[in-house]
Amino acid sequence: MDERAALALLEGELDPVGDDAAVVDGLIVTTDMLHERTDFPPGTSRYTAGWRSVGASLSDVAAMGAGATAAVAAYAAPEFVEDELLAFVRGARDVCELVDGEYVGGDLDGHEEFTVATTAIGRTDDPVPRSGARPGDVVCVTGTLGRSAAALELFRRGERETDPDARGRANELFRFEPRIAAGRALAPHATAMMDSSDGLARSLHQLTEASDCGFAIDGEAIPVDDAVRSVSETDREALERATTFGEDFELVATVPETALEAVRDAVDVPLSTIGTVLESDDGISLDGEPLADRGYTHGEG
């Protein structure tokens, strides 16, 4: 059973399940777990690991349109190495400070594999779910897509020692900015929103399930990051990576077309309009062709 099947199973036991974070009386709560084998390629610094682990949970807070309050992390490793532990905490603290949140500690444990469990909390009186997209809305994406796909390729090159600067560039790409400010700016206008941690294609399928809608996406409008273009042999390969790899932690939102100008004025990062919301019977298409449900899933394979 993979992650998606497990979530479907839990829908019968927990209500509600399906948004990026839970909402409890205006408090936004989310938790994530990352493992060295699946989430931190060889060459990932502990500073980057701290930043990325906590940043992943902060991204869920952003997807709900909330402000960041605080985060904690449980750090488990075969042994505690002073430089590694300090670097991790500094990365976690710095990403929190970037979005006006606070890193307030956590827990330590011994474990055979470096593993991190993080929890972030935020606040909003008007959270944005995944379930409100309506036909006629436009589909928007913050920032660019494909940074993490490019980073993984650079980590591989660094491991093969074919590029002495590859690991440094890869770590920089892995340290994303959680879109807290953009999420708050989008919130008054967005009808549905989530982050792109599972990839754009899978995010669209998840929004379809939640909102009972379809999408028509324009491939040329998808904001493909220059870094993934530089490690791809063709533009088609770069687009494929940007669309399906995931782990970019950008926001995917639907907004009424009439609100688009106000949204662009409010959001502090590049915002791309990549398509429109359709009726559910129309399905999901990319340049007129069906867009497969492909992306990152824990427990797959």
Binding residue positions for Mg(2+): 20, 30-32, 60, 107, 195, 198
Order across the sheet with 67-77: list the strands: 22-24, 27-35, 115-123, 67-77, 102-110
**Residue partners of 171: CB distance under 8 A and separation at least 6:** 43, 44, 45, 47, 48, 151
Residues contributing to the annotated binding site for substrate:
39, 247, 296
* Annotated binding-site members: 20, 30-32, 39, 60, 106-107, 130, 195, 197-198, 247, 296
Q: 10 Å Cβ neighbour count for 55?
A: 28
Q: Which residues are annotated as a binding site for ATP?
A: 106-107, 130, 197
Nearest CA-CA partner of 28 in 129, 122, 130, 126: 122
Distance (Å, whole) CA 143 – CA 175: 14
Mention every residue, 6+ apart, whose C-beta is less than 8 A from residue 141: 196, 200, 222, 223, 250, 251, 252, 253, 271, 272, 274
Q: How many CB atoms lie within 10 A of CB 62?
A: 35
